[in-house]
Amino acid sequence: MRTDPAISRLLMLRSGAIVIQLIAVIAVYFLLGHQIALLPLLVVISLEAVFQILSVIAYRNVGKAKELGMLMQLTADVLFLAVLLSFSGGATNAFVSLLLLPIMIAAVSVSAKGLAYIAMLAIAAYSILLFKMPQHTMHHMDMTSHFIGMWVNFVISASVIALVVGAMNRALHSRERIIASTREKQLRAEQLVTLDGAAAQITHQLASPITNLQLLFEELIDEQPDNPIVADMQQPLQQCTNQLSNFRRLSEQLRSQGKTVSMPLPSLAEQIQDTMLLQYPSQQLIWENETPQYTVISDAMLLPAILNLLQNAVTANQQTAKQTITLSWQLFPQKQPVAINLSIRDFGKGFTADQLSELGGQLMPSETGMGMAVLLSNVTLERLQGSLTLFNHPQGGGVAKVQLAITAKQEAVL
């Protein structure tokens, strides 16, 4: 597993900083002959090196670090640097501006609150270094105003970095999210076009054989009207004919992106009940609460989208020999626009982690066709200002939560 990029870059920078600090301290003391607090500085650098080793071990297999971990690392950098500066001149040290580095790193790696925390911590560290300066240093050659000016300059620089760089980083992330969302929608549209073309071709290829079978059936029923086998052929052939007609209509609706209409929820619930009773008579639909008297945004694809999810629920039930599917409504009047959820729960094995991360976003290889069905349902619901959420029920089984956009109460429409 790869280490989190932000933490990895920070650890690399700190490793380089520790080496430079050690070389600088040794060079200043032994080569330049300046009297500095050698032992305390070496102790601080050693502690920083130990902290660095522990950090590398802790984050070597962490794919995505939490923000709290990043803030702890940056806090340690500010504190170590402040202590090093306190032993080497404090606010008079020319390298005191290095306290801006943790702020820069925070601006591109943590949230606005975390950035504000690191900025305030760095300013506080500089302020303490200025306050602890010996009085003779402050009054020597009247340098008081100079050091205060440096402090003001540091505060302004830290504020500008936190505000400007932080805002630019948030705007960049927002733009990346928009681009990623647009790219995902484009990929979905391309997949739908491919599926629609293949489905239209299959429909065309099936139309002629079904028509021929219908003609043969009519001839057989005329010749053998009392034959029970011939009579049993009527319903399956009629279902095939109806399904092909419906599929042509739905395909045209999908390609043309037709106008939406308002559908009463009781009518939608009745169609769901009737269709499931016809196609899966062995499965029992249990409505846990009464259907609200509202209308929702709909088109010809809404019912097939919900039926796709119910078909997946049936498949999950069949794998565990269950025969119950529960449905429930949840109204959210505080949302704008007002929304309502339809929760569909099966009693199968539930979704795997891979399915939860991929279903609805892209096609998945599946023997039961679950990936394509959920993808089509998800795209349809998004087009109708709704959404689809999949999760596992705490007591077992999977749940498909369909959010629908409400137009008005049914009484007002009628």
Q: Which residue has the higher pLDDT, 204 or 176?
A: 176
Upstream peptide bond of 337 is cis (omega within 30 degrees of 0): yes
pLDDT of residue 33: 74
pLDDT of residue 413: 39
pLDDT of residue 364: 46
Q: Which residue has the higher pLDDT, 187 or 168?
A: 168
pLDDT of residue 343: 92
Cβ 255 vs Cβ 196: under 8 Å: yes
Whether residue 318 is predicted with pLDDT greater than 50 in this model: the reply is yes
Whether residue 337 is predicted with pLDDT greater than 70 in this model: the reply is no
pLDDT of residue 257: 56
Q: What is the pLDDT averaged over residues 328-349?
A: 82
What is the distance between the alpha carbons of residues 288 and 360, in angstroms, rounded to a whole number? Answer: 26
| CA–centroid distance for 116 within its chain | 26
Instruction: Give 22-65 as a DSSP string.
Output: HHHHHIIIIIS-----HHHHHHHHHHHHHHHHHHHHHHTT-SS-
Q: Which residue has the higher pLDDT, 2 or 400?
A: 400
pLDDT of residue 63: 65
pLDDT tens for each residue of 132-141: 876 555 555 5
Beta strand pairing call for 387-392 and 284-287: unpaired
> Given pLDDT bands bounded at 50, 70 and 90, which one contains residue 166?
confident
pLDDT of residue 251: 64
> Given pLDDT bands bounded at 50, 70 and 90, which one contains residue 363?
very low
pLDDT tens for each residue of 68-78: 888 999 999 99
Q: Which residue has the higher pLDDT, 59 or 201?
A: 59
Report the SS3 class of residue 118.
helix
Whether residue 362 is predicted with pLDDT greater than 60 in this model: the reply is no
Of the listed ranges 29-33, 39-43, 204-208, the one predicted with least confidence: 204-208
Q: What is the pLDDT averaged over residues 396-413?
A: 76
Q: Which residue has the higher pLDDT, 246 or 191?
A: 246
Phi, psi (degrees; rounded to nearest 5) at 82: -65, -40
- Residues 6 or more apart whose CB falls under 8 angstroms from that of 56 comprise 11
pLDDT of residue 220: 82
Report the SS3 class of residue 123.
helix
What is the distance between the alpha carbons of residues 313 and 400, in angstroms, rounded to a whole number? Answer: 9
| CA–centroid distance for 87 within its chain | 47
- Average confidence score pLDDT of the chain: 80
Q: What is the pLDDT averaged over residues 225-252?
A: 75
Whether residue 398 is predicted with pLDDT greater than 80 in this model: the reply is yes
What is the distance between the alpha carbons of residues 129 and 280, in angstroms, rounded to a whole number? Answer: 77
> Given pLDDT bands bounded at 50, 70 and 90, which one contains residue 142?
low
pLDDT of residue 76: 93
- Residues 6 or more apart whose CB falls under 8 angstroms from that of 227 comprise 220
pLDDT tens for each residue of 271-289: 899 888 888 888 899 999 8
| pTM for this entry | 0.53
